[in-house]
Structures are given as C-alpha cells and as structure tokens.
Structure 1
Amino acid sequence: MEEKIREYLNLQPGEQAVFIKDLTDGETFCFNEKAVFPSASTIKLVIMACLLDQVKTGRLSLEDPVVLTEEMRTGGDGILKELSAGHRFSLREILTLMIIVSDNTATNILIQLLGMDAINEMAGRLRLSRTVLGRRMMDSEARKQGKDNYTCADDIAHILELIYEQKCVDVPSSRLMLDILRRQQQSGRLQLYLPEEVEIAHKCGDLDFLEHDAGIILLPKRPYLIVVLTRDNPTNKDGREVIGTVSRMVYEEMLQKE
C-alpha cells in the first residue's frame, strides 16, 4: 500500500501530506507529515478541545447560553449567519455546529470566548508543535497581514488518536468529541469512494485550491486513522479526488487485514 500511495501522490500536482495509522496493530505510514499547511477548518479540532478543557476546569459549562447578535455573523460555511439576531443557543449547540456543519459564526464565537492565547496554549499542551491559530474565520484583513492558521498531518493525527484513546482532556470529553465528529455532515472527501455504510468520525476543511480531511474510519475489526492534506490543487475538485483516492487505497488494504 505504501509504495502505491507514494507513486500516486508523486504523480499529482500540488502538494500533499498523509498520515495513516492502523489503530489495531499500530502500523503507520507517513508522507510529508511534518510539512506545515494552512489548516482551514481542521483547526476547529483544537478549539473543541480547548472549550472542553475549560468546561472540565469549571470555568465554562456546555449549558451556558449564547445569544446570537448581528455582530457575530461570519461568512462561509454555517447556518447561524442565516438566523435572526436574538436566537439563543447553548455552548453545546455552538460546539456541535462548529464541527458538524463547520459553522464559521460558531467558531468565531468560541474563539472570542476562549481567546486565541488559550487555544494556542491548548495546542501546546497537546504537543501539537506545528499547529497555531493566528486569525479568526473569514478574516481577510488578517490574511493580508500574513496571519493565518496552520497545522500538519502529524499534529492532526495526534489529536485524533488522543480522542480515540480517550486521552484528550479526559474520558467524558473524548467521548463527546468522538460522538460529535461522527455526526459530521460534510462529506465528499475521505468518503468519496467508500461504501455508504462505513462509519467515520472526521473533520474536513477547504480554502481556495486547498482541501483537507482527517478522521477515524471506524471499521468494526480494523479501525484506522487517516489524514490527507492537499494544497496548490488545479481545482478544489482535484483536491477532493486525491483525498478520496488515497482513502480508498487505505480502506481496501484494511479490509484485507480484517
């Protein structure tokens, strides 16, 4: 499988990074895994962990209310931007929307609440050495100033494995994170060429000419972790195709090992 994936990636335009780990026997395959990429929405994994860490310490509660205001509205993915000001949500609902529909308004609400420093400190505590939150979602002015959010395949794989092993924040938090990731509504990348019944807990992200997806494929007898990052694609569709093709290669290999 490793040689097949390398040969395939070496023929593709743009740049890719891959991290694959069999969660049964620990066998790992990496490709360009420490290369730093703009994170797109995969940074929301760290924001989720930071929120649940502050819930654990008692500073916040998942039942704390959030009232939507006009100023909170953010473009891009999400449904909160379509709702009238005055709608009331719990932090649990804001967290869920940030992950399952990648809601950028929900994300910016949490960044404002938690603070960038706390989120980056959480990344450090999780030993995500190449992951940094440098701007809010859809902040074009910050991007013009060279500020962005960054990560690498190795870091994303690490936080996903912590969640799977119930070691991210604590056991209840890890279980909640995995449950929310399993309810992800955005597909068409890792799942592109997988059977519909395959269960996956994942977080994807995209920017212009950049596509990422990272998750845990919950095969009953052979769960595995897969991260595929792509950038400088001719089109975003090309990036999704790369992710889907690599995902299918890995899936077929894991089926043979079951």
Structure 2
Amino acid sequence: MEKYTEWEKEINEIISQVEGEVCINFYDLDKNDGFSINGDKKVLSASMIKLLILAELMKKNSENKLSLSDTIMIKDFMKIGGDGVLKELNSGHHFTLKELATLMIIVSDNQATNVLIDFLGMENINQLGRELGLKETFLGRKMMDTEARKNGYDNYTCADDISLLLKLIYQEKLINKKASQLMLDILLRQQQRERLQRYLPSDIKIAHKCGDLDNLENDGGIIWLGDKTYILVILTNGMSNLQCKQTIGKISKFIFGKMEEQ
C-alpha cells in the first residue's frame, strides 16, 4: 500500500541516524497487511527465543504428554546468572511448568528457561520451529552458556519469524485456541517495558517479549490501540543498549502515531 511506502521512508530516516542494524516487521491485524524492513535477516535472538520454547511446552500439553500443573524441584546445580528471580531463591522449591513458563516470559528468567529446555529437549523445540515455517529461528544453546557461544553455538531469529508467532497467537492458531489464549495471557503480563512502550502511554495494552545482549535489544508484541490491533517487531544491534532501546522506542512511537491517525 502507498501509505506503507511513506511509513517505510520515515522509518528509514530514523534508522539512518543510528550506527547499528535495525530489523522491523509491522503487521496490521485488522487489515491483514503490513511491511518489513530487513525482516528476513537472521540475527541473534537473545530472549526472543523463549517464545518458541513456550510454544513447544503448549504443544506437549495439548498432546497430553505433560500437564502444566506438573512440578519440577529446583536444585542447586540449576542455578545460573542473568535475568530472573529463581537464582535468588533457596533450592528445594517446587514450581509447576506453567509457573516456570510464566517466569521465563514475564521476567525473562534464565534459570526457568534452562529447566524447560532440558525438560522439553532442544531438538523438539527446533522441530516445532520447522513445522511452523519459521525461517531463521533456532535454539542452539541454553541461556548464559558462554562456553557454547565460544564454540559457535547461539540462538537466532528474524523479525518476520517473531511476527508470524505473534500473529498465530492472536488468531488463536498457535498449537490451538486454548494454548494461544494461555500464551497471550502470559505475554500480556510482561514486566519489562523499556523498549516498545518507551514513549507510549503508560496504560497501553501490549502482549510482548523482549530480549537483550551486549549492544543488542529486541522487542516484539501485539499492541491494542482503541479498536485497532497491530504487531510490531523491532530487532536492533551494533550500538549501545540505550541507543538500541531509544531506537525501538522512536519507531514504536512513530507507528503508534500513524495508527492513531487512521
């Protein structure tokens, strides 16, 4: 559409003012139309990969291979650094699979993530990605595994893949209706708000997942604006983390303003 060509021009102007790399996918869920800028480019996923892990958990639950109320006891050897709250707790607590999944998403808990990767199996998670038609999304290592990174293993995605996952959730087609509704409910409770929402009204309704590494910030979500709903995924790297967050915020504010005008 002609208006999207104009939007892309203005977004490219924002991108031209920064040194790093920016990948974007925008999709209007009401008009079933959108655009992407470098949306198919393979980049480091950071914690965005946790969306696919969540989907595999829901798949196994839908196949009755597990119950989300099943529990896992947290042990000392599971402790790792980075984001999360489990590392701060004493070992011996039992958490349900649903609680671990919730922590993995809303506070990006790395320990909960690794417990789920071990429980589900890395290959099963990647197989689901292939079945869903994801082009560049791949889980190659557990969270905080610096040794694996040194040996060339990492986690990847692209903006188009994240947009597809979010679209399937919104359309209640990721695994099935019940699974999609549960995933949406968890994403709506996300506690990290420094990227897509950075310059938006504080009461904005958004279901999203973000992630970061050194000089890399990613965020992707479903955003509600009155009776309009859209997906925006922005993956950035190659500049300071603050610049990355500000760039995501500026582009998100621009799209929000354009949607508001419609």
2:179 to 156, 173, 182: 173
Note the C-alpha offset of 1:220.
Answer: 2.9
Aligned residue in 2 for 1:136: 142
TM-score, normalization by structure 2: 0.97
Give, as a single letter, the amino acid of the residue that structure 2 aligns with 1:113: F
Structure 2 matches for 1:31-46, cutoff 5 A?
31-46=37-52
Q: Distance in 2 between matches of 1:255 and 1:148?
A: 38
Query: Does 2:246 match 1:241?
Result: yes
Aligned residue in 2 for 1:27: 33
SS class of match (1:194): coil
Q: Distance in 1 between matches of 2:78 and 2:86?
A: 9
2:74 to 48, 68, 71: 68
Aligned residue in 2 for 1:210: 216
| Unaligned residue ranges in structure 2 (runs of 5+) | 1-6
Query: Does 2:59 match 1:53?
Result: yes
1:98-145 CA deviation, whole Å, 9 max, x = no partner? Answer: 000000000000000001100000111111121100000000000000
Note the C-alpha offset of 1:18.
Answer: 0.3
Q: Percent identity?
A: 49
Give, as a single letter, the amino acid of the residue that structure 1 aligns with 2:209: K
TM-score, normalization by structure 1: 0.98
Q: Distance in 2 between matches of 1:174 and 1:220?
A: 22
Aligned residue in 1 for 2:255: 250
2:225 to 214, 219, 222: 219
Give, as a single letter, the amino acid of the residue that structure 2 aligns with 1:204: C
Query: Does 2:90 match 1:84?
Result: yes
What is the Cα-based RMSD across aligned positions, in Å? 0.7
Instruction: State the 4+ residue runs in structure 1 displaced beyond 3 angstroms.
Output: none
SS class of match (2:228): coil
1:231 to 234, 237, 255: 237
Q: Distance in 1 between matches of 2:236 and 2:154?
A: 16
| Unaligned residue ranges in structure 1 (runs of 5+) | none
2:132 to 126, 135, 144: 126
1:144-179 CA deviation, whole Å, 9 max, x = no partner? Answer: 000000000010000010000000000000000001
1:161-211 CA deviation, whole Å, 9 max, x = no partner? Answer: 000000000000000000100000011100000001111000000000000
